[in-house]
Chain A
Amino acid sequence: MTEREVMEYDVIIVGAGPAGLACAIRLKQLKPELMVAVIEKSAEIGAHILSGAVIEPAPLDDLLPGWRDNPPAPCIAVEKDEIWLLSKEGKRRLPTPPQQKNHGNFIVSLGALCAWLAPQAEALEVDIFPGYAAADIHYSEDGAVGGVIIGDMGVDREGNEKDTYMQGIEIHAPITILSEGCRGHLSKQLIKRFGLDTDSDPQTYGIGMKELWRVAPGKSKPGLVQHTTGWPLDSKTYGGSFIYHLDKDRIAIGFVTGLDYQDPGFMPFEAFQQMKNHPMVRDLLEGGEILSSGARAIVEGGYQSLPKTEMPGALLIGDAAGTLNVPKIKGTHQAMRCGMLAAEHIAETSGWEGFDAKLRHSEVVRELHKVRNIRPAFYKGFWRGFIRAAFETITMGKWPGTLKVHADHSALKKLDEYTAPDRRWIERTLPPRDRLASVYFAATEHDEDQPVHLRILEPDVCTTRCTEEYGNPCTRFCPAQVYEMVEENDTLRLQINAANCVHCKTCDIKDPYQIIQWVTPEGGSGPNYQNM
């Protein structure tokens, strides 16, 4: 192998989401002389971003005063909040807890927001490179993080160079910022290598699926924010839906399930589709069409699970660290604030040391501390969680104890330890029919002739222990039907349809043996979300 070409920057940022872009913009505002680059695996900025999204605007006001004169589209002021507890046929309005009051907030597309932030960063001379995946970390001689290595392109399925082969370059920088979002694959390696999580609880996650609909004229009420809980989930499974009413007859609808669910037979995608077919939601969607769809894991661990966010040569920010506020159902304002704080720290100290302490004394972690016991309270079921959440809210998190958090993959029960409740699921009428029909709306694309980017570390386990103990849950938790058990000559074989992958990272998280490793495919591959 020939020596890789090298580019040098002062700061390299991995991932052009709200955290990374806010960090880049703030860095150049404070120190225009710094050379800052952002690399992003999606072909276009925003194409791998999926969120609700209702955002708190305070960090945007801080970062880009005057943004309200030229807002990203869509950007709709929240007019009204509704929370509904659903039963199979019925619904009951619940009082809106204070964390979920959205007065002053905006409904946006986070993908479109990032696509709108990027040119503003570029105007400050940040170099943004969409379509390039940071495949590995470059370590300096002293073992510190020294930058990233871009993945090679034009490699075939067996790992041979094709005619179009192009070796990935190295980008060196004294400071690398990981803003990969939830379960970033480099962040994961670094957390392990530097033992960043030794003093924190394991990180926990949820899986969020979302569809953008154009509904029949008049049905969308721009500015209405609805959340549901209850049906179709049993009381032991944490989750709920969001329904955000946008302009132009559009509705963003999504469903989030805690990945600490126990049922090995549970299929989050089916739960989402069931929710859509509840009478209240079906009435809204009937006669409409899907514009886009996708899925993405969400960090839910909060305060207890926040790893150390600094290591030699690098910082973790945003959801790569895990700053999302679950009770608020919001992460964007936290991610942006965290990115800006990292920028301010670098501008002030020209180094990485001391960022973690600064973050822990900032508004970002104060906000997480206040709500730290709400999500874990739901481990004991919905109603106990509901009461505890009310207590934590009234006391504003001042009760001194902190509930423990457990890893999601260890929550899954074996087939013989679990009896699934009768879910009384109904026959659905709304599209998409199944997961493949759904993936179609994600416009996901991977060159089939490239190495499979979902690596199974111990393939034997799949067809032996896993089939027996859990019945191959990967075939159910993946929202894009990447994993299939195929019978050939009376033997089972795991087939990985890697080209369907929407980069949600659920498999990397929920696999009970932790042997699925998500790595970056060729740069530019993956979903092509529009306004998600």
Chain B
Amino acid sequence: MKILVGIKRVVDYNVRVRVLPDGSGVDTDGVKMSVNPFDEIALEAALRLKEAGKADEVIVVSAGGDECQQQLRTGLAMGADRAIQVQTSEPLQPLSVARAFLKIVEREEPGLVILGKQAIDGDNSQTAQMLAALWGRPQATFASEMTLEGDTATVTREVDAGLEVIEVELPAVVSVDLRMNEPRFVKLPDIMKAKRKPLDVVPLADLGVEIGNNLKVNTFAPPPQRAKGIMVEDAGQLVAELKNRGLL
């Protein structure tokens, strides 16, 4: 069985994200970019399945400009067997990514697609769900545990009410949550091996995908700054101050 894993290049989680002065987006000049942490977890899950003999091949896929090859190489260094870049210079919204991934799915016919539950830049959490719907296959989102038995995946989902265990028939789309695993470190010699692993570049235009960028972003703004507080002497003064501000 093949497993397909989605990889997105995002601003690293350590970076203090700054909105551009004109509100047109986020400043990425000189900013560290990384593999979306949830995608790293997805890849780790796939690699563990392969190591347990449940899969034969792990393929990492990313959609974007050539700079995302860096993240695909990271995926290859972690242990993926090969990589596919859906090449486009246009920024893609989830529906477009899902449509592009569907084309790759049709071509590769994986038994399982594992994606991060969301990317830490847009925080959309849509691609996995949309891909499952377009593909007409089951989805198991926000997974924190997964076991495979024959054609069935048993998945523990992290939902608002607690944990939900479901079974889905393969092929299926699984999106993973933080507690699924802790991704491995990349071994230095594996970085060298990754350079020799195949990385196919497929222009988005060649896939015949209709771009579905149907959301328009009006403006970006940082959250309001917290105003300076005051120290109050006692409860009486606290009440008075609250009343002063019309909060009581």
Q: Which positions in A face B, CB cutoff 8 Å? A: 5, 7, 43-44, 46-47, 73, 109, 111-112, 115, 127, 129, 131-132, 150, 153-154, 163-164, 166, 169, 171, 214, 291, 440-441, 443, 445, 528, 530-531
| Contact in complex: B192, A127 (CB < 8 Å) | yes
| Contact in complex: A445, B14 (CB < 8 Å) | yes
Which of A112, A132, A440 makes the CB contact (< 8 A) with B16?
Answer: A440
CA A254 to CA B139, docked complex, whole Å: 53
B182 at the interface (CB under 8 A from A): yes
| Contact in complex: B185, A528 (CB < 8 Å) | no
Which 6 pairs across A and B sit closest by C-beta, in order of nearness? A531-B30, A166-B185, A530-B30, A153-B185, A445-B14, A44-B32
Closest residue on chain A to residue B188 by CB atoms: A169
Q: Which residues of B contact A129 (CB under 8 A)?
A: 188, 191
Closest residue on chain B to residue A443 by CB atoms: B14
Besides A7-B188, A129-B191, A531-B29, 11 more A-B contacts (Cβ < 8 Å) are A5-B187, A43-B32, A109-B30, A129-B188, A166-B187, A291-B18, A440-B16, A528-B15, A530-B15, A530-B30, A531-B30
The A/B interface has a contact count, at CB < 8 Å, of 54
| Contact in complex: B187, A169 (CB < 8 Å) | yes
| Contact in complex: B16, A443 (CB < 8 Å) | yes
Determine which residue in A73, A111, A132 has the highest number of CB atoms from chain B within 10 A of its CB, and name it: A132
**Cβ contacts B13-42/A at 8 Å (1 or 0 each):** 011101001000000011110000000000
Which of A5, A115, A440, A528 makes the CB contact (< 8 A) with B189?
Answer: A5
B184 at the interface (CB under 8 A from A): yes
Closest residue on chain A to residue B182 by CB atoms: A164
Closest residue on chain B to residue A530 by CB atoms: B30
Within 8 A of A (CB), among B158-182: 182
CA A151 to CA B184, docked complex, whole Å: 15
**Cβ contacts B207-243/A at 8 Å (1 or 0 each):** 0000000000000000000000000000000000000
Q: How far in angstroms is the closest Cβ of chain B from A428?
A: 14
Which of A109, A163, A530 makes the CB contact (< 8 A) with B31?
Answer: A530
Q: Which residues of A contact B15 (CB under 8 A)?
A: 443, 528, 530
Q: Which residues of A contact B32 (CB under 8 A)?
A: 43-44, 47, 528, 530
B12 at the interface (CB under 8 A from A): yes
Q: Which residues of B contact A43 (CB under 8 A)?
A: 12, 32
CA A380 to CA B95, docked complex, whole Å: 70
CA A440 to CA B29, docked complex, whole Å: 18
**Number of chain B residues close to chain A: CB under 8 A:** 20
Q: Which residues of A contact B189 (CB under 8 A)?
A: 5, 7, 169
Q: Which residues of B contact A131 (CB under 8 A)?
A: 186
Closest residue on chain B to residue A445 by CB atoms: B14
Closest residue on chain B to residue A127 by CB atoms: B192
CA A385 to CA B182, docked complex, whole Å: 57
Q: Which residues of A contact B31 (CB under 8 A)?
A: 530
Q: How far in angstroms is the closest Cβ of chain B from A459?
A: 30
CA A164 to CA B78, docked complex, whole Å: 12
CA A43 to CA B185, docked complex, whole Å: 12
Closest residue on chain A to residue B222 by CB atoms: A289
CA A530 to CA B28, docked complex, whole Å: 10
| Contact in complex: B188, A441 (CB < 8 Å) | no
CA A445 to CA B31, docked complex, whole Å: 15
Q: Which residues of A contact B192 (CB under 8 A)?
A: 7, 127
Which of A111, A153, A169, A441 makes the CB contact (< 8 A) with B30?
Answer: A111
| Contact in complex: A163, B182 (CB < 8 Å) | yes
Q: A115-B30, A153-B185 are in contact. Are A528 and B191 (CB under 8 A)?
A: no
Q: Which residues of B contact A163 (CB under 8 A)?
A: 182
Q: How far in angstroms is the closest Cβ of chain A from B226?
A: 13
Q: Which residues of A contact B18 (CB under 8 A)?
A: 291
CA A23 to CA B29, docked complex, whole Å: 27
Q: Which residues of B contact A528 (CB under 8 A)?
A: 12, 14-15, 32
CA A164 to CA B40, docked complex, whole Å: 14
CA A445 to CA B184, docked complex, whole Å: 18
CA A501 to CA B29, docked complex, whole Å: 24
Which of B16, B182, B185, B187 makes the CB contact (< 8 A) with A441?
Answer: B16
CA A169 to CA B191, docked complex, whole Å: 13
CA A268 to CA B189, docked complex, whole Å: 42
Q: Which residues of A contact B30 (CB under 8 A)?
A: 46, 109, 111-112, 115, 530-531
Determine which residue in B188, B189, B192 has the highest number of CB atoms from chain A within 10 A of its CB, and name it: B188
Could you list 11 examples of A-B contacts with CB < 8 Å?
Answer: A5-B189, A7-B189, A43-B12, A112-B30, A129-B188, A169-B187, A443-B14, A443-B16, A445-B14, A530-B32, A531-B29
CA A43 to CA B29, docked complex, whole Å: 17
Closest residue on chain A to residue B31 by CB atoms: A530
Q: A47-B32, A441-B16, A445-B14 are in contact. Are A164 and B191 (CB under 8 A)?
A: no
Q: Which residues of B contact A112 (CB under 8 A)?
A: 30
Q: A7-B189, A530-B15 are in contact. Are A166 and B29 (CB under 8 A)?
A: no
